[in-house]
Amino acid sequence: MAAVFASLLAGCDNSSSTISDQNAEEAIPAVFYETTEQCEADITKQQQEYQVLLEAHQQNQLAQPPTPPVMKVEDCAPQMQAAQQEHDRTAPVYSSLADCQAEGVQCETTPANAETSGYRPAYGGTFLYPYSSPSFVYLNFGGTNRSVYQPHTVFRSSQPGQVVTPLGRTVPQTSPGPVSVPRHTSVVAPQRPTGTAARGTITGRSSQGFGSTFKSTGRGGK
């Protein structure tokens, strides 16, 4: 698995933050998690594999030093909190369950403290893009300002085995950990519409396309 993904990274240039209709479906490396527990389990596994390869390198059994995991286990909780905050910020709220379900997603009631009450797409996990020019966001976690990767959350699809991006595009649901996904999944989600959203808000976005250029994650500093 690690060797396959390393090959993918070597053969894929993700340095550009510009997306067009021509490259929107191009595969790029990412990481996917739905829960903190998934993140912690995967990073623990990656760390163990890294230690094995590092020892092999130190014993001259491996020519090149291994690449360490892109996160630490203690990064998982703030990273997933940032993902939930992103979902709260961007998921449209509908006045009726039927309007929400018409978007092809599973739906949930809004939290008690939400600005607008109603129904919204259910949180389906987040893609992270830690390879080659990643972007970062900051959040307060336990009283400390933390820097984490920009989350790109998705919604649970009404169809098994799929998730829906905020731009209304359906992609296969992946296993936790390193994955290969279409470049368009790295586009920053639009801000949640004020008040309740009209039926077709999400599906309507899927037909807009990306034109000749469309900015995705941008760049930041950690």
List pLDDT tens digits, range 19-59.
Answer: 887 888 899 999 999 999 999 999 999 999 999 999 999 99
Distance CA 103, CA 203 (A): 6
pLDDT reading at 1 higher than 90: no
pLDDT in tens, 134-170: 999 999 999 999 999 999 999 999 999 999 999 999 9
Per-residue pLDDT, 64: 94
The rounded mean pLDDT for the chain is 87
pLDDT reading at 210 higher than 80: no
pLDDT interval class at 215 (50, 70, 90): very low
- Contact by Cβ (8 Å): 171, 180: no
pLDDT interval class at 214 (50, 70, 90): very low
Rounded to two decimals, what is the model's pTM? 0.83
DSSP 8-class letter at 74 = G
- Contact by Cβ (8 Å): 200, 52: no
Element holding 27 (H helix, E strand): strand 27-33
Question: Residue 173: exposed, middle, or buried by beta-carbon count in 10 A (0-12, 13-18, 19+)?
Answer: middle
Question: Which tokens is 221 given?
Answer: 């500093």
